[in-house]
Amino acid sequence: MSAEVKSIDFDGIREETFQHKQWTVVSRKSHILHSKCIENCAEKENDDKCLFCKFQQELQIPNFPDMTFAKNLLRLQHSSGCGLQFTCLSALKCVENCKDPLKVDVADAWLEARNENQFANRISKPYNWTFSTRYIGDLLVNDNNETFSIENAIERIDVDKLRQKEEILFYDDINLFEDELADNGVAKCSVKIRVMKERFLILLRYFLRVDNVMTRIFDTRFYYEDGKNYLLREQTLREGSLKVVHIPPQALLDPVQLSNYLPLTQLINEKLVFPKT
């Protein structure tokens, strides 16, 4: 049975909790991270530092996105204790390991726009200035230190079932980070969830548009259907040069429309199987 959505506010955070059968869904939304330390944390212990300084310590990137939603998250926990979690910090940690070969004139404009920023002396080229991330979420472990096992899958997400008109019991759209690339485009990472009576779908998306240069959409979808002992996880990468692919201007602003014009360059289908009980 589903329960009502419970909402609470604390520490500048709006948290919603939704219980549906064996799953507990928690979403959190808050304001963006400050652009600098505001608590003089230099002499404080790590646990006492402000969130900005904790992010600076955890991440090896020389600058944060203009809009870093440090407290935002989505968490789903199954009655087995296993679960999924999506956070801004984890998404930005994957930026460090995602080598972005994109080197264009607007990269210099992006760097110049940050010359007065306290990070300027840490910025050197090459740098993943588009915050490209291959983040696919975090797997949570249960009390026995078990989590999902990952298997290759032939089965695909049932799009026809998702197109059926069903009552949406819970929906949320959570931004993790966003940057306007010094007015030369957009880089955005967000996660959405839609819960129906017998299934749910999560879409984790990184969307990049560098004006007059290229665009990229890296999507990770999670699909669960009642009665199954697994979730499906589907990763897709679509990207293209705007000098090669003709895309209507209005589609460049909408990742849903845009995906119809971009070639699929990578597809990974997997099962996330619950641990045996």
What length is written for the chain? 277
Model pLDDT, residue 8: 97
Model pLDDT, residue 113: 59
DSSP of 198-258: SEEEEEEEEEEEETTTEEEEEEEEEEEETT-SEEEEEEEEEEEETTTS---GGGGG-HHHH
Model pLDDT, residue 108: 57
- Specify if 203 maps to a domain: yes
- Specify if 252 maps to a domain: yes
Model pLDDT, residue 40: 78
Model pLDDT, residue 233: 98
- Specify if 14 maps to a domain: yes
Question: What does the alpha-carbon distance between residue 189 and residue 68 come to, in Å, rounded to a whole number?
Answer: 10
CB atoms within 10 A of CB 121: 8
- Specify if 1 maps to a domain: no
* pLDDT tens digit sequence for 84-133: 999 999 999 998 666 655 655 555 555 565 555 444 444 444 567 899 99
Left (φ > 0), alpha (ψ -120 to 50) or beta: where does 21 sit? left
Domain range for 258: 6-273
Quote the number of domains for the chain: 1
- Specify if 253 maps to a domain: yes
- Specify if 16 maps to a domain: yes
Q: pLDDT 10s per residue in the chain (277 long)?
A: 567 899 999 999 999 999 999 999 999 999 999 888 878 777 777 777 888 888 888 897 888 999 999 999 999 999 999 999 999 999 999 986 666 556 555 555 555 655 554 444 444 445 678 999 999 999 999 999 999 999 999 999 988 888 888 999 999 999 999 999 988 899 999 999 999 999 999 999 999 999 988 999 999 999 999 999 999 999 999 999 988 888 999 999 999 999 999 999 999 999 999 998 7
- Specify if 95 maps to a domain: yes
Residues in CB range of 259: below 8 A, 6 or more apart: 217, 219, 238
Question: What does the alpha-carbon distance between residue 96 and residue 219 come to, in Å, rounded to a whole number?
Answer: 19
Model pLDDT, residue 96: 66
First to last CA, the chain: 23
